[in-house]
Chain A
């Protein structure tokens, strides 16, 4: 191969690489990445938010966990603090994810979102990028809580860690999508408070994070059925302290289904959302 051919070959090769790099698929991927990157960088730079969001679960774990734990004996052979540990992981995911999603009400009040919505990308792309951003925020907290778990005597194995990660990823994706969907339908900042009262707290209290599901009255048991966080708490409890009401596979199945529903809901809401 002579030199000229060589150059031609190299040029053709770079051209194909450029074509791939600039294709539609890559552009969509890059757009999702861009939105995710923005969320991630902002999250890392807002230290107060990071510290604040970690402090609440610690209060629950150490103050409520120790306080109630010292006067309650469960029917199950594990101390209360350890019992609520998976519940606190779920709580942390619930609060962070839904808040994050509902935060879009603020984004819309100010003009940042407008500048994204005027870009030649689909609403679905924005939605996926944002959901992944919220998921990442939640996962960072899950990591930190897992480390704290070591101090209260939780034992992990490689399998349990993978299980915890998997469940947390689905739950945080599901709830961020829900928060984004709800937030994109709200037009005033007061809507945020509505979401906190009527979505976040019920999700948390009905999930069985703080109590076992075994001896519940029927009406309450029914309510826990329709809370997707219930299955996450159950699955996490299964992998951290080995106690479960349902099988791990059943929990995962229901989480998956819920995630599909909230994602569709979120995408639909985003598509309908008014830009100005």
Chain B
């Protein structure tokens, strides 16, 4: 549906987007993630024909963004970072004006506008001027506007920026509803990893204008887990599945001796498992609990095995890497997939100093 071929954009001497090639499939929700200034918005602006690439090109639905920009525009909808509806007009009027601009056939105009207003839950407020809308409502209006001409592709540039958790959640619902009902391809940028994890089929990480990883959220998480080495465990850089076991302790001194015996026994059992990578013993002073911290592989399968084999466990805590960890890993230069002299390399060297 969307194909980028060596897409590049330079602003003076700064390379904002550096020869990005990428294929996005029909009906896919694709997330573009990266730090501020990584080049996400620049890519979207180029795909939306608002910016001309310095070199390279892209095709949307078979149309070239440089040669057939007008046809590309008919095939895309876009929701910008900052709200761009006219706040002196009502929601309905905003959509009506854009339906003229997109040449929505006259006999379909009013019906389609009303349908979309219902889809994004603004139908009851359609005759209020946009000034009176909340931030979330404005965003939803923008989405409705982006869908007016039944585009094949919609770009959402940080669709939930500045929204409260409730509005964000309902925005996610609308987006998921959209994917199901309209079957369109979505490209979204966001800084909320949770959002990307919930919505995206695939994620592309961008750093300094280059794509450094593309995969499903699950695969990306697996990828950073497998990327750990022995050093990381000792330096605290380890990213992976972690289990915390709290053991029963009673106040009595004699029993405490007994406790340490139990602990030693348990540690030995745990050491015999191959999937336990590291065992750390910790005394939590406040409640005198004995705690073991374990780094393990594949927590989903191995946690039950661990719980079956150890005794006297009072409670457990566990964590798995999230997309946040993936983000840190990729943007902190731990994974250097670039050839020598690339940014990641230089960053890593700088980090060592």
A residues adjacent to B (C-beta < 8 A): 18, 21-22, 27, 30-31, 33-35, 37-38, 41-42, 45-46, 110-112, 114-121, 274-276
Is B103's CB under 8 angstroms from A27's CB?
yes
CB <8 Å contact, B50 and A275: yes
Q: Are A118 and B73 in touch, CB under 8 angstroms?
A: yes
Q: Which residues of A contact B85 (CB under 8 A)?
A: 112, 115
B97–A111 touching, CB < 8 Å? no
Cα distance A111–B89 in the bound complex, in angstroms: 15
Interface-lining segment among B74-82, B167-175, B225-233, B234-242: B74-82
Whether A34 and B97, one on each chain, are in contact in the complex, defined by CB atoms closer than 8 angstroms, is yes
25 contacts between A and B (CB under 8 A): A22-B105, A31-B100, A31-B101, A33-B100, A35-B101, A38-B86, A38-B89, A41-B89, A42-B86, A42-B88, A112-B85, A115-B78, A115-B80, A115-B84, A115-B85, A115-B145, A116-B101, A118-B50, A118-B76, A119-B73, A119-B102, A120-B70, A120-B73, A275-B51, A276-B45
In the complex, besides A118-B50, A119-B101, A120-B74, 7 extra interface pairs with C-beta distance below 8 angstroms are A31-B103, A34-B96, A42-B88, A45-B88, A118-B49, A119-B102, A120-B73
User: Which B residues have a C-beta under 8 Å from some C-beta of A?
Assistant: 45, 48-51, 70-71, 73-74, 76, 78, 80-86, 88-89, 93, 96-98, 100-103, 105-107, 129, 145
Tell me whether B50 and A114 are in contact (CB under 8 A).
Answer: yes
| A33 to B: closest C-beta gap in Å | 6
Q: Is A111's CB under 8 angstroms from B102's CB?
A: no
Q: Shortest Cβ distance from A9 into chain B, in angstroms?
A: 19
Q: Chain A residues near B105 (CB, 8 Å)?
A: 18, 21-22
A residues near B100, Cβ cutoff 8 Å: 30-31, 33-34, 37
A contact residues around B101 at 8 Å (CB): 31, 34-35, 116, 119-121
Q: How far is the CA of A189 from the CA of B298 in the complex (A)?
A: 57
Whole-angstrom distance between the alpha carbons of A35 and B105 in the complex?
Answer: 17
CB <8 Å contact, A112 and B84: yes
Determine if A120 and B50 form an interchain contact, defined as CB atoms under 8 angstroms apart: no
Complex CA gap A45/B129 in Å reads 10
Shortest Cβ distance from B69 into A: residue: A120
Closest-CB distance, B263 to chain A (whole angstroms): 61
Do A118 and B83 contact each other (CB < 8 Å), given the known contacts A34-B101, A38-B97, A42-B88?
A: no
Given A41-B89, A110-B82, A119-B98: A18 in contact with B50 (beta carbons within 8 A): no
7 closest Cβ contacts across the A-B interface?
A: A111-B84, A34-B100, A120-B73, A275-B50, A119-B101, A115-B84, A27-B103
- When C-beta atoms are compared, the residue in chain B nearest to A22 turns out to be B105
Q: How far is the CB of A163 from chain B (nearest CB, A)?
A: 34
Say yes or no: A112-B86 contact (C-beta < 8 A), given A27-B103, A118-B49, A276-B45: yes
Measured CB to CB, the nearest residue on chain B to A274 is: B51
Contacts of A121 in B (CB 8 A): 101
Alpha-carbon gap, A112 to B141, bound state (A): 13
Question: Known: A42-B86, A115-B84, A117-B50. Contact between A37 and B97, CB under 8 A?
Answer: yes
In-complex Cβ contact of A120 among B89, B97, B102 (8 A): B102
Choose from B48, B71, B81, B88 the contact partner of A118 (Cβ within 8 Å): B48
Give B126 Cβ to nearest chain A Cβ, in Å.
15
**Are A30 and B80 in contact (CB-based, < 8 A)?**
no
A92 vs chain B, min Cβ distance (A): 23
Please measure, in the bound complex, the distance between the C-alpha atom of A30 and the C-alpha atom of B89, giving whole angstroms. Answer: 18
Distance to closest chain B CB from A233 (angstroms): 33
Which residues on the B side are within 8 Å of A41 (C-beta)? Answer: 88-89, 93
Taking the nearest CB of chain B, how far is it from the CB of A200, in angstroms?
Answer: 24
Q: From B82, which residue of chain A is reached at the shortest CB distance?
A: A111
Complex Cα gap A21–B88 (Å)? 29
Count chain B CB atoms within 10 A of each CB in A21, A41, A45, A118 and give the residue with the most: A118
Contacts of B103 in A (CB 8 A): 22, 27, 30-31, 120
Residues of A within 8 A of B50 (CB): 114, 117-118, 275-276
Least CB distance, B283 to chain A, in whole angstroms: 56
Q: Provide the residues of chain B in CB contact with A33, threshold 8 Å.
A: 100
**In angstroms, how far is the closest chain A Cβ from the Cβ of B59?**
17
User: Is there an interface contact between A111 and B83, defined as CB atoms closer than 8 Å?
Assistant: yes
Taking the nearest CB of chain A, how far is it from the CB of B212, in angstroms?
25
Q: How far is the CB of B333 from chain A (nearest CB, A)?
A: 29
Distance in angstroms from A231 CB to nearest chain B CB is 35
- Give the residues in chain B near A276, CB-CB below 8 Å: 45, 50-51
In the bound assembly, the distance between CA atoms of A276 and B88 in angstroms comes to: 23
Chain A residues within an 8 Å CB radius of B48: 118
Whole-angstrom distance from the CB of A184 to the nearest CB of chain B? 15
Q: Considering the chains assembled together, what is the distance between the CA atoms of A114 and B88 in angstroms?
A: 17
Contact A118 B78 (CB under 8 A): yes
In the docked arrangement, what's the CA distance between A34 and B74, Å?
Answer: 17
Contact check, B84 vs A114: say whether CB atoms are below 8 A apart: yes
| Beta-carbon nearest neighbor of B76 in chain A | A118
- The smallest C-beta distance from B92 to any residue of chain A, in angstroms, reads 12
CB distance from B159 to the nearest CB of A (A): 14
Q: How far is the CA of A34 from the CA of B93 in the complex (A)?
A: 10
User: In the docked arrangement, what's the CA distance between A274 and B82, Å?
Assistant: 18
Min C-beta distance of A250 to chain B, whole Å? 40
A residues less than 8 Å from B84 (CB atoms): 110-112, 114-115
Closest CB of chain B to A148's CB: distance in Å?
Answer: 27
In the complex the two chains form, what is the Cα distance from A213 to B56 in whole Å? Answer: 59
- In Å, the complex CA distance between A275 and B45 comes to 9
By beta carbon, the residue of chain B nearest A111 is B84
